[in-house]
C-alpha cells in the first residue's frame, strides 16, 4: 500500500529505531517501476507516499478540484474531520498550509511537532500509527526517513500523506503542476527544466511530469543526479526526463525552469564541498537568457544567492508565491478526495 522509491540527497536524517522487522523491505520489492501501489478507492484506506501513488486520472481530479477550491466554488467540507500532522522537522509552509486548509474546510488539524510524541523516546512507529488511527481521519507526516512513512502506512487504518520525506514530496509536486497548468498552459504542451540537485523534490517532480505529459529536462552535476530508480519509474509512467550536466542546454526554450536548494539540512557538514559541485547552476539572468520567456519555480525556502539569484526570485518571471499558495489548495483537494470521495 505504498509506492516504490529510491533514496535521494535532500532532507535526509535519522529516525527512531523501531524493531527488527523493516516494512521498507517489502515496500522496495512489491511494486515494479510504473506499477501503482494504491488506489483512491482502496477499501483499506489510501496512502499517498509519492506522486505515482496517484493515477493520471486521479492527479487530474485533484488538480481540477484544487482549482475549484481556489476559486471558492468547492461545496465539499471536512466538518468533524481531524488531520494529524506528525512532523519530525520544523516547517513553515507545510504546517500552515495544512492547518489553514483544514480550518477553511471546517475540519481540525492537530500538530505533533519534534519532541512532542514518544517516538523520540523509543515508541515504535507502528504503535503511533495504530493509536492515531483511533483518533483522527488522516495523517500527514513530515519525516526524516521515508521508511518511517512506510511503517506508518503499513499499520495505520487511515490515509497517510507524505508531507515531505528524504525521498519524495508529492504535495509539492501537485502544487507545481497546478501552478504550471494555471499560469503556463496544458501540462502536455509544456516544456520544463529542472536545474540543480536531483533531490526529493526533483524526484517527485520528474515522476509528476512523466505522468502528466510535461516534457522535462533535468540538469544536475554528475554526482547529484536523479537515481536510476526514479528514472526507471518515470520511463514506465510515460517517459523519463532528458538528463544532462549542462544547465544552459537544459533550459533552452523552456516554458518553466525549476530549482531547489543545493544544500539541505542534512548536508551542512559537507556544505562547501557540495557548493563547489554546483558552480554554473545558479538560476540568474545570465543563465535564463537561454529561455527568455520562461517562468521560474522554487519550492522554498530558498538560499538566495546560491541556487537562485535575488533579482530572479524577486523578478517578473517568478511563479513562486502562486506555487506557495497552491500547496494549500492541492492539499485540500487531496484530503477531500481521500476522505469524501
Q: What residues are annotated to the active site?
A: 142, 169, 172, 260, 299, 327
b (16+ CB within 10 A) / e for 267-284: beeeeeebeebbeebbbe
Query: How many residues appear in the chain?
Result: 341
Q: Which long-range contacts (CB under 8 A, 24 or more apart) does 37-44 make?
A: 37/1, 37/2, 37/3, 37/4, 38/1, 38/2, 38/3, 40/337, 40/338, 40/341, 41/341, 42/1, 44/1, 44/157
324 neighbors 330 (Cβ within 8 angstroms)? no
Nearest alpha-carbon partner for 168 in 146, 147, 196 = 146
Phi-psi domain of 300 (left: phi exceeds 0; alpha: psi -120 through 50; beta: other)? left
HEC assignment per residue over 145-187: CHHHHHHHHHHCCCCEEEEECCCCCHHHHHHHHHHHHHHCCCH
Cis (ω within 30 of 0) for the bond into 259?
A: no
Sorted by sequence, the CB contacts under 8 Å of residue 230 that are 6+ apart come out as 5, 6, 8, 198, 203, 206, 207
Grid coordinates representing 67?
482549482
Quickly tell me which residue has 501540462 as its cell.
187
DSSP-derived letter for residue 58 is: H
Amino acid at each position: 500500500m505504498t509506492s516504490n522509491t529510491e533514496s535521494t540527497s535532500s532532507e535526509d536524517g535519522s529516525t527512531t529505531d523501531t524493531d527488527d522487522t523493516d516494512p521498507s523491505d517489502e515496500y522496495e520489492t512489491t511494486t515494479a517501476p510504473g506499477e501503482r501501489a494504491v488506489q483512491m478507492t482502496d477499501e483499506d484506506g489510501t496512502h499517498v507516499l509519492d506522486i505515482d501513488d496517484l493515477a493520471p486520472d486521479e492527479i487530474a481530479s485533484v488538480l481540477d478540484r484544487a482549482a475549484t477550491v481556489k476559486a471558492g466554488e468547492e461545496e465539499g467540507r471536512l466538518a468533524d474531520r481531524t488531520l494529524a500532522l506528525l512532523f519530525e522537522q520544523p516547517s513553515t509552509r507545510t504546517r500552515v498550509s495544512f492547518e489553514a486548509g483544514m480550518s477553511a474546510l471546517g475540519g481540525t488539524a492537530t500538530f505533533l511537532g519534534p519532541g512532542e510524541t514518544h517516538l523520540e523516546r523509543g515508541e515504535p512507529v507502528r504503535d503511533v500509527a495504530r493509536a492515531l488511527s483511533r483518533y483522527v481521519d488522516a495523517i500527514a507526516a513530515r519525516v526524516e526517513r521515508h521508511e518511517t512513512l512506510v511503517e506508518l502506512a503499513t499499520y495505520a487504518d487511515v490515509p497517510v500523506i507524505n508531507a515531505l520525506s528524504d525521498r519524495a514530496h508529492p504535495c509539492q509536486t501537485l502544487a507545481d503542476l497546478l501552478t504550471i497548468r494555471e499560469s503556463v498552459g496544458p501540462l502536455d504542451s509544456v516544456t520544463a527544466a529542472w536545474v540543480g540537485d536531483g533531490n526529493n523534490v526533483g524526484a517527485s517532480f520528474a515522476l509528476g511530469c512523466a505522468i502528466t505529459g510535461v516534457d522535462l529536462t533535468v540538469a544536475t552535476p554528475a554526482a547529484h543526479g536523479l537515481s536510476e530508480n526514479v528514472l526507471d519509474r518515470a520511463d514506465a509512467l510515460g517517459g523519463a526526463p532528458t538528463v544532462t550536466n549542462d544547465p544552459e542546454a537544459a533550459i533552452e526554450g523552456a516554458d518553466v525552469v525549476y530549482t531547489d536548494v543545493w544544500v539541505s539540512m542534512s548536508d551542512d557538514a559537507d556544505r562547501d564541498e557540495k557548493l563547489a559541485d554546483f558552480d554554473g547552476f545558479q538560476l540568474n539572468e545570465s543563465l535564463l537568457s537561454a529561455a527568455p520567456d520562461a517562468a521560474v519555480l522554487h519550492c522554498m525556502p530558498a538560499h538566495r544567492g546560491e541556487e537562485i539569484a535575488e533579482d530572479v526570485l524577486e523578478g517578473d518571471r517568478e511563479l513562486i508565491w502562486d506555487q506557495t499558495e497552491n500547496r494549500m489548495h492541492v492539499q485540500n483537494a487531496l484530503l477531500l478526495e481521500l476522505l469524501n470521495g
